[in-house]
Amino acid sequence: MKLILPARPPFSLSSVVQSHGWIRLDPFWEEESTGGLAYIAQLDSGQVVELHIQETPGGVSVVIDGDLSDNERAEIERSVAWMLGLDLDFSAFYQLARQEPRLNRAAQRAQGRILRSPTLFEDVIKTILTTNTLWAATIRMNNNLVAQFGAPLAADPTRNAFPKPERLADTNEETLRAQTRLGYRAPYVLELARKVSSSELDLEALKTASLPTPDLRKRLLAIKGIGDYAAANLLMLLGHYDFVPVDSWALKMVSQEWYGGEPVGRAEVEAAFEDWGAYKGLAYWLWDWSTEG
């Protein structure tokens, strides 16, 4: 089956895919021969499908092997639209960016959309796995989770969807520590899965909540394992760009850009992008550090 979904222009699938490292985390991967995106999804019906997403004039096509019910088709359309931010409007940001040499090609490159998982649950888990570790370890932990707890694709049982909250809620901390090798993150992942699966926490409602950014940030910070950096990243995925995700990379780049390599702290990073207001996180994210000032 093939679905065609429109995108608000300007749109570039490549810009979304390359927006950050999620493309390297299962069950995402880039189809390098075509420049497309693939993802294995477990639908609400329980069926596990492989989505092949390609850019088309005005949007994207989604190819799925096999037949789908009307509900399954609608679920896939919603998921892909969310994953790629197909309806997002960056015109106000582009207007500001045209005045800044480091960002004045953002509209030409159709930048701004950040690749998201179909569920906020998956994005929160992946974000927790990025904290206080090397990127290689994040990849390992995430891929272990998918391999050990994800539902398999019927056509290739070696490839799995991201685990549902209910599946992770049924495991235990020792397994997540010793076998999945999540370390100190194990109880955070387990508690989140149990709260979501029991409906104590409705993470998905935050995707469409009309909360001011500070209130949304408080909700995210209330999740164990989510600190300032992780909350800022998740806010960006939710389309709120009011905070800069300050990590060692941000400290390094701001130091080199404005302080001659001298050590800087969070305050200096935030001050560097303060003039961008509601777009300061996005301005940081898309800043062309390679451009000569």
Residues 86 and 135 in one domain: no
Q: pLDDT tens digit string along 155-192?
A: 999 999 999 999 999 999 999 999 999 999 999 999 99
Residues 230 and 182 in one domain: yes
Query: Does this model's pTM top 0.85?
Result: yes
Q: pLDDT tens digit string along 132-148?
A: 999 999 999 999 999 99
- Between the alpha carbon of residue 106 and those of residues 16, 72, 169, 233, 290, the distances in Å are 12, 35, 41, 20, 14
Instruction: Please name every residue paired with 139 in a beta bridge, in sequence order, or none if there are none.
Output: none
Confidence class for position 291, pLDDT limits 50, 70, 90: low
Q: pLDDT tens digit string along 104-125?
A: 999 999 999 999 999 999 999 9
Q: Virtual CA dihedral for 172, 174, 177, 180, nearest 10 degrees?
A: -60
pLDDT average, residue stretch 14-26: 96
CATH number of the domain enclosing 138: 1.10.340.30
The answer as to whether 29 is a domain residue is yes
The answer as to whether 104 is a domain residue is no
Residues 142 and 92 in one domain: no
Residues 279 and 225 in one domain: no
The CB density around residue 159, as the number of other CB atoms within 10 Å, is 18
Q: pLDDT tens digit string along 264-280?
A: 999 999 999 999 999 99
Checking if the pLDDT of 130 tops 50, the result is yes
Cα gap 273→41, rounded to integer Å: 37
193, 187 in Cβ contact below 8 A? no
Residues 224 and 271 in one domain: no
Residue 52 token pair = 């092949």
Residues 35 and 92 in one domain: yes
The CB density around residue 145, as the number of other CB atoms within 10 Å, is 26
Domain count, the chain: 3
Domain that holds residue 158: 120-237
Contacts of 252-257 with CB under 8 Å at 24 or more apart are: 253/287, 253/289, 256/289, 257/289, 257/293
Cα gap 103→97, rounded to integer Å: 5
Confidence class for position 293, pLDDT limits 50, 70, 90: very low
* Encoded amino acid at 63, one letter: V
Question: Pick from 226, 133, 188, 54: which is nearest to 217 by CA?
Answer: 226
The answer as to whether 140 is a domain residue is yes
Residues 204 and 275 in one domain: no
